[in-house]
Amino acid sequence: MSVVTKKYNNKQKPQLSFWQIWNISFGFLGVQFGFALQNANVSRILSDLGADLHSLSLFWLVAPIMGLLIQPIVGAASDRTWNKLGRRVPYLLIGSLAAAVGMILMPNAPLVVTIVPPILFGAVMLALMDASFNVAFQPFRSLVSDMVPDNQRNIGYSVQSLLINIGAVIGSLLPFVLTNIVGLDNTSSVGEIAPSVTWAFYIGATVLLGSVLWTAVMTKEYAPGEYSLPSVEDNKNSQDEKASLTQRFSDFIGLVKSMPDTMKQLALVQFFSWFALFILWVYTMPALAQHIWGIDAKWFDSEYLKQVGEVPEAIMLAKGSAGDWVGILFAAYSLFAAVFSMFLSKVANTIGRKTTYALALFAGGLGYVSIYFLQNPELTTVYFLGGQLDVPQGAVNLLFPMAGIGIAWAAILAMPYAILAGSLPVKQTGVYMGIFNFTIAAPQIISGVLTGWVLTTFFNNEAIYMIVLAGIAMFLAAISVSFVKEQKKEEVE
């Protein structure tokens, strides 16, 4: 993409071709590839390393906390950065490299048992991965806002959603493919990681780096001062004004207080939808193992596992099958999300962003709740990607709810940002996108703190009821969209 350097101007950004928009977000495919591997397998890894079922949500708190701390910092820093690599690209490269390192090291936690407990090492590597993913996530959102003209905003974020979900499909399926086609073992004893999961993380790290490099090479950011972007002189003045850490913090608090009304209204929607998503990622594997495969909850209790010493082979095989099937289900909802993303822009242009958003979230709620009613223990043979496996019929039935969850996921990835981008001042897009991540991180932190207690206190460690609770939260998110009011860009300027 060629860009001619001009003096600061307010001209409309040039129209981009589909492939230019594609290249801008292509690196997100790799980032989400890695994130999908984490979402589908970290509960499985942490359980293998000795984590209790009720403590899983506490380990998962690392993800939103990293987002809460890092995204606003990265957003503010990238707003003030101009160098040979660009404005956002330097942060994409740094984040992807660090995430790849974490992905390579995490499945090797059992190798460091003589130095630190594997569960502690796994938690540290989870923190590293999440911190790095967040360094990469935020600039991609801002890069679309920087590069794409207002009238292509729907398609810009829809393409980003499509690429995110392509990466998620491949990443979620990878352990299954490595087990059933390549032939790697998917079972593990306590304190070990299945070989199929280990190699999936190695491959994910490679894809992550390669895709981000593609965006870095194929996308040339607009020059400073062009198309209403801040100039180098603005950047210098901005840096000069921030004389101390105290002043910087004060300025940041001022930005939070003066955030656009649209952002505040979207925060309620974000709270319920991300509360539900956190539950999905943490509890789907144990929910399926218990509700569909019939494994007793005691086999997720580390104290009980210590007492019995050795886990029966039947339990290990069932856990391995449930873990692989979670990858298939996550791939399914990501595939549905990718397909819906291709139509999302047209649907939003036809019936409006808010209506599209609300209907999609409602479909997600239906998907969550219906999982409870599709239990069927009868074994059936499934042929998939050249592999063959026997699973309960209830597991196959769960492919249908994934359509609703996928539709909701596609909308969650695109619609809030398409709605929000029009209400943000150009010079502060990055920092406000980072602040907006509070509305993603906060509900996950609250969910992580509360859900383990809810699971043990009210649901007797039956994880399927957490999935139903997530469905109710998604319905509330759909209702909350009605309170959001969109702003036009010219009103903001």
What pLDDT, in 10s, does the model give residues 224-249?
Answer: 767 666 665 555 555 544 455 677 66
pLDDT (mean) for 461-487? 93
Domains in the chain with CATH codes: 18-219+251-492 (1.20.1250.20)
Q: Which residues pair with 86 in a beta bridge?
A: 83
Contacts of 379 (CB under 8 A, 6+ apart): 390, 391, 392, 393
pLDDT (mean) for 1-15? 56
pLDDT bucket at 7, cuts 50 / 70 / 90: very low
Percent of the chain with pLDDT over 90: 26
pLDDT bucket at 342, cuts 50 / 70 / 90: confident
* Average pLDDT in the chain: 82
Tens of pLDDT, residue by residue over 433-471, are: 777 878 888 898 899 889 989 998 999 889 999 999 999
The residue type of 10 is N
pLDDT (mean) for 389-394? 87
CA distances from 301 to 53, 55, 287, 472 (A): 6, 10, 14, 27
Q: Which of 62-66, 87-91, 294-298, 374-378 has the highest mean pLDDT?
A: 374-378
Tens of pLDDT, residue by residue over 138-191, are: 777 778 878 888 788 778 888 887 888 888 888 888 888 888 888 888 776 666
What DSSP character marks residue 383?
E
Higher per-residue pLDDT: 192 or 484: 484
Write phi, then psi, for 11 (nearest 5 degrees).
-65, 150
pLDDT (mean) for 128-133? 82
- Run of H or E residues at 394: helix 393-397
What DSSP character marks residue 384?
E
Of 46-55, 162-171, 397-406, the poorest mean pLDDT is in 46-55
Q: Which residues pair with 383 in a beta bridge?
A: 388
Higher per-residue pLDDT: 211 or 300: 211
Is the model's pLDDT at 431 over the cut of 90?
no
pLDDT bucket at 4, cuts 50 / 70 / 90: very low
Higher per-residue pLDDT: 30 or 190: 30
Question: Concatenated DSSP letters for 80-121?
Answer: T--BTTBSSHHHHHHHHHHHHHHHHHGGGGGGGTTTS-HHHH
pLDDT bucket at 488, cuts 50 / 70 / 90: low
Please name the residue that has the structure tokens 């936690």: 109
- 187 in Cβ contact with 194 (< 8 Å): yes
Q: What is the CA radius of gyration of the chain?
A: 22
Which has the closest alpha carbon to 197: 165, 168, 174, 170? 174
The residue type of 490 is E
pLDDT (mean) for 24-37? 88
Cβ atoms within 10 Å of 346's Cβ, excluding its own: 13
Tens of pLDDT, residue by residue over 81-100, are: 777 888 788 888 888 888 88
pLDDT bucket at 115, cuts 50 / 70 / 90: low
Write phi, then psi, for 388 (nearest 5 degrees).
-135, 135
pLDDT (mean) for 377-383? 86
Question: Concatenated DSSP letters for 275-326?
Answer: HHHHHHHHHHHHHHHHHTT---GGGG-HHHHHHH-S--HHHHHHHHHHHHHH
- 165 in Cβ contact with 407 (< 8 Å): no
- 43 in Cβ contact with 330 (< 8 Å): no
Q: What is the pLDDT of residue 99?
A: 87
- 161 in Cβ contact with 341 (< 8 Å): yes
Q: What is the pLDDT of residue 463?
A: 92
Range 450-489 burial, b when 16+ CB lie within 10 A, else e: ebbebbeeebebebbbbbbbbbebbbbbbebbeebebbee
Using CA atoms, how far apart are residues 179 and 320, in angstroms rounded to an integer? 10
Is the model's pLDDT at 478 over the cut of 90?
yes
Q: What is the pLDDT of residue 120?
A: 76
pLDDT (mean) for 49-74? 76
Tens of pLDDT, residue by residue over 246-300, are: 776 677 677 777 788 888 899 999 999 999 999 998 899 899 999 999 888 888 7
- Run of H or E residues at 66: helix 62-79
